[in-house]
Amino acid sequence: MNDLRLRLGQNLGLLLAIGLFLLFWLVYNGLHPKGFSTAVLIQNANESFVIGAVAMAQTVPVLAGGLDLSVGAVMTLVNCLASVLVNGSGWQMVLGILVCLAAGTLAGWVNGAVVVYGRIQPIIATLATGAVYIGIALFIRPTPGGEVDGDLSWALTNDVYEFCATYGLFDDGEAAWLAPFAWIPMPMAIMLLVIFLIWIPFRNSVTGRGVYAIGSSEGAAYMSGVRIDRCKIAAFTLAGFFAGLGGLYLALQTSSGNADVPQAGAYTLNSIAAVVIGGTSLMGGSGGAICSLIGAMVIRAISFNFRIFDIAPLLQPLFEGIVLLGAVSIGAARVFRVKNRLELLG
């Protein structure tokens, strides 16, 4: 009981984010003519995947007390790479996907290496590497275009049933045991796999906890024998992987690649907003990728509502801005409860 209260207290930010998400998402579904249908769910999941993956990417360096301003660029780079590689025969596609994910991971590793061995502040190091990655993306795809295998694109942006049906798995998805899961959108399934196979093991590894330790107090972590360099590089590398995953999915979703510089910037900035809304401290040390995923879903759920409320397109950016500003200011409520003003200062 006492433990439960402690755990709840330590996750207030996440609970708040979940509440916000449910609020916006339920309102949206309640007012949508086809609300609470699989079709809407699939659409929502598709539209949330990339920002979710990029937000998760941003989280890991933030936990270590840094920022990664290159997540949007890595996402864009892999997006362009995927529009070249993910087609052809089955094996070619598998290889293409692996190369894409490896490229994202490599880009993240380079970030980590520059930060750790070059001793450059993460925020400025990744600003610079981000420019490099965007440059490479522009070399790969000077103009938007490219091609992604249609079947794969269809299969991975629909529900589990369609995926099985497309590739003739489990009696074309008709297997009785599959029925309870058939409605799950593939992006959601992929995200769950990533969380359970990558994020949670990472979080419970010595390296993962080292990342939290560094963000909480780098000096103390060093004194405690945490392998600082290894943990930081791991954090940026994992960020690169998540961002690459987002870029790959964007290619599947749009069937093309686009080295869009403003879009890359927007993703980076939204990823930071998602991290904050999810309750991860920008100072590092507390929070997690799941929190940021929820944060990203909050941002998306807000924009879903614009469609429902039929807000004039010209007003949408203003509303988006005000809601974003309001959401990030929620944390400010804390300020008025704090009785010791020193607690507000670093």
* Structure letter (DSSP) for residue 257: B
User: Which member of 120, 178, 195, 308 binds another protein (CB under 8 A)?
Assistant: 120
Query: Is residue 15 a contact point for another protein (CB under 8 A)?
Result: no
Q: Which helix (H) or strand (E) holds 282?
A: none
Distance CA 28, CA 230 (A): 44
End-to-end alpha-carbon separation of the chain, Å? 33
Nearer to another protein, 119 or 168 (CB): 119
Q: Which of residues 85-114 bind another protein (CB under 8 A)?
A: 114
Tell whether residue 7 is a contact of another protein (CB under 8 A): yes
Q: Which residues are 185's β-sheet partners?
A: 159
Q: Which is nearer to another protein, 6 or 39 (CB)?
A: 6
Among 25, 109, 212, 304, binds another protein (CB under 8 A): 212
Task: For 55, list phi and psi in degrees, rounded to 5.
Answer: -65, -40
Shortest separation between residue 277's beta carbon and another protein, angstroms: 9
73, two tokens: 């660029």
Residues 6+ apart with CB under 8 A from 43: none
The correct pick among 119, 143, 168, 310 for binding another protein (CB under 8 A) is 119
CB of 202 to another protein, least distance (A): 9
Which residue bears the tokens 């070249």? Answer: 84
342 binds another protein (CB under 8 A): yes
CB of residue 43 vs another protein: minimum separation in angstroms?
Answer: 24
By CB under 8 A, the residues from 138 to 177 that bind another protein are: 138-139, 142
Cα–Cα distance, 100 to 86 (Å, whole number): 9
**Segment lying near another protein (by CB under 8 A), choices 46-54, 204-212, 250-258, 292-300:** 204-212
Q: Which two tokens stand for residue 163?
A: 């995926």
> Can you tell me which of 26, 98, 181, 205 binds another protein, judged by CB under 8 A?
205
Does position 129 bind another protein by CB under 8 A? yes
For the bound state, the minimum distance from the C-beta of residue 232 to another protein, rounded and expressed in Å, comes to 15
What is the DSSP code string of 181-207?
GTTSBHHHHHHHHHIIIIIHHHHTSHH
Q: Which range binds another protein by CB under 8 A, 49-57, 95-103, 143-151, 319-327?
A: 319-327
230 is an interface residue for another protein by CB under 8 A: no
Regarding 341 and contact with another protein (CB under 8 A), the answer is yes
Determine the Cα–Cα distance for residues 260 and 20; give it in Å rounded to an integer. Answer: 31
In this complex, which beta carbon is closest to another protein, that of residue 37 or of residue 205?
205
CB of 84 vs another protein, minimal distance in Å: 15
Contacts 24+ apart (CB under 8 A), 158-163: 158/42, 158/185, 158/186, 159/38, 159/42, 159/183, 159/184, 159/185, 159/186, 160/184, 160/185, 160/186, 160/189, 162/186
- When binding is defined by CB under 8 A, the residue of 143, 168, 177, 332 that contacts another protein is 332
- Give the sign of the dihedral formed by CA 251, CA 194, CA 72, CA 275: positive
- List, in sequence order, every residue forming a beta bridge with 159; answer none if it has no partner: 185
Does position 1 interact with another protein (CB under 8 A)? The reply is no
Instruction: Among 136, 190, 195, 311, indicate the residue that binds another protein (CB under 8 A).
Output: 136
Question: Rounded distance, CA 297 to CA 281, Å?
Answer: 18
CB of 91 to another protein, least distance (A): 30
Residue 67 binds to another protein (criterion: CB under 8 A): yes
Q: Is 135 among the residues that bind another protein (CB under 8 A)? A: yes
Choice between 90 and 201, CB closer to another protein: 201
